[in-house]
Structure 1
Amino acid sequence: MLTLASLISYNRRRPGEVQAISLWLAHIQFFICSFRCGKFVPVIVPAYIKPLLEFITDSVVLHTAGISTSNYVFANNRSGVIRGGYAMVVMTNEAPLTKPERIRGTNMRRFMATMSQGLNISAQQQRWVVDHMGHTLDVHNIHYKSTLDVIERVDISKLLLMMDLGQIGHFKGKRLDEIQFEELLGQTQSGATSEASERQDDEAEQEEDYLPELPEEDEESLLIFDHTKKRKRRTSKPRHKWTHEEIDELKQLFDIYFRKDKTAGEKAVKKAMERSREREGTVWQLPLKSIKSKVSWLRLHKK
């Protein structure tokens, strides 16, 4: 019974197919047993079972036990066979298992069929599995589809989560089975962190005062009023004459502020000056207030 139960569990075979193997097939490495629809399915014999088969099919042993030598491999002394289902029940009950009733031929066949659908196997490999199981491809896809449904639900959940979080663009060109939930959660956390940082910068910049650069004709006529003195014309240093190259560099450094129509604060201007210096530009050599005013003027007068 141990040998019979081992072959059934190893091959995920129906108990009735293994128990009816003829004696003349015992000398080859695998058996071909008849399937109930007229097909023949393989029963692979592991190396550790071969000595057991050689013993129970030995003519001397069969004669001593009173079993016919022209009978079945798993024959009894009444011209019948040992039932494979009964062998599975006896062996699993004697083993130290928590739930031995779950180790049955039908359950193991269902487990193999459903687990194979969870793997990324080719059509030819799927045909091999179907031939080994002894059923048709329609039976394989229809009756053993529980695990496949779970996988489909997981992939659809990924798609819905990406759409909800607006992360479709980050995974462009990837298959759903290549995307892990950890990547989605990582994108969400990084996006939340950058959004919070940007919000803090915006709040800090809004608190800063800025002086928009006025047109040349307005600047020349600008007067400063003093409540205790007569008004007088403002005395200022010579204005910096901006070149086209410097303006283009400003537009590149502060592109995000122009697109979002946001005010660039002192902190943002300092970072832009550092980037200009790293790129060997010219803007970093100018005064901070002059850069800040010019950026504000460009933002207000952008087309």
Structure 2
Amino acid sequence: MLEEVSDAPSQKLVSEVYTIMSRDDVTECAKGDPLIVSLGNNWLKRNMGNKLKRKYYSSSRMRGAARLLQHLRTITNTNMTMSKFICPMYFDKMCEAALLCASMENDDEEDLKSPSSTLEIGFDIKRMKNLKLGLALKSDDKDQKREAEEFTTLLKMEWSISVSRMAHLKLREDRMNRPHKPLPIPQDLSILGGRVSSELKEMGMNVKKTFENYKRAVMLLETRLLTYNKRRSGELEALSLENYKSRSQGLDEADRALMGEDLTDLEKYLVTSQELIQIRGKIGKIVPILVPEDAKTLMADDVRRAVGVKPWNNYVFANTGDGVIRAYDSLKSICGELSLSAPEQITSVTMRKYIATLSQVIDMKDFELEWLCNLFGHTASIHKLHYRSTSGFIERVDIGKLMLLVCQVVSCHAEESDQHVESPENVPENEEVDLEEDEVPRKKPCTRQAWTEEEETEIKELLHSNFQTKTFPKMKECMGAISKSRRKGGVVWKRKWETIKKKVIRMMKKNPHLKP
């Protein structure tokens, strides 16, 4: 797929990216190469929706490509541009330079200090190859087009074996050998949450409007929302004023129709005391932030103006410049003020892993796990592979009991076999053994629980609208019926939602004129 190409720096690239890049020879190399400038433009457009972080992504990728170009020039003892190196003649040199970007030591290809850098460079090489091809097509340069296409062929044939495989092996080896990063201590989280919550309640509008007090309030709010929602710190600090003003309060008509009026006291409290904000998550996914009661009073506009926040700074947690007060720094600062057992173990990532690990012990259902994944903003496979760590309790106790049980079963089976199996000398040759009919192993019969009249009557009441409109219920409606049945002390809640759905469908088909 061709990239949108331009070898001249865009206005946003100059104003946003160039101003934050370090002033050294790497940056000068990046700014002076047309293809690397095109790569910076491309990365800026790829992350157009992430206004807060896009400049850092573009700067990092441009500097990585510049280091690759510096290694290529050293290896070949030339001063060519990146476009000249993207051709079949220099493919092997490109592989060597990519490994050097991972700080390869002693000419040992398996000794890579930073294998992830090599993988990132590989993706950017493919992008720069596409950029060169796009420029060649626009200028009708057949030689450049042929070089880019032949370089593409070599990438497909040899890059994974020459570079990527070694980087992946090194990453897996490092992941296996590195010490396990411990999860936060529950008592530390309790102390942190209690301290932040109490201090937020003490802060009010009567506090003197100074930047120090404003910054303190922002740090407390960021810490409270991080610990409560287990959000990524970068997502939280990018909360805009528009997101906050469009927050959801209470229940809308659809939620009321679904849940009904039979809410428990706890559910009523959570609905009335919390607010819901929708923000941009990873890869543009919309993720929620729950605002608890003690954190509902955010910074007012007059407070922002009084402490020196610029009118055009559109972030809730704005600083006096064009950026934000970092949520990661706020969390670390608050943790450092308290007497915690292990404050270094409390980060936004470890708290997400903490919740993901606890979900194993709770034995969550599939739809409940889906809710949790939607809150985190990732898929179930990422949840199980990356975030969820097997707790020491599960490994030592539950899995340990399973292993002991298997050993006992095998031991008992071996003893029974020794006692009942006859010696080969006592068994006549060519004698067939016939099993009696009662001795033939049979499949365990399936037991089904018949539906009672009480259950059928309750189903008609709970799914009254479905029977009226003759529409089959969906999972959400069945789960709502189960929830109502549990609150009212009914009996249908003991059934699975799939069983309830099948029963309703059978009832409708059996008697189409059924009146609820």
TM-score (norm: length of structure 2): 0.30
Higher relative contact order (CA 8 A, sep 6+): 1
Larger radius of gyration: 1
TM-score (norm: length of structure 1): 0.50
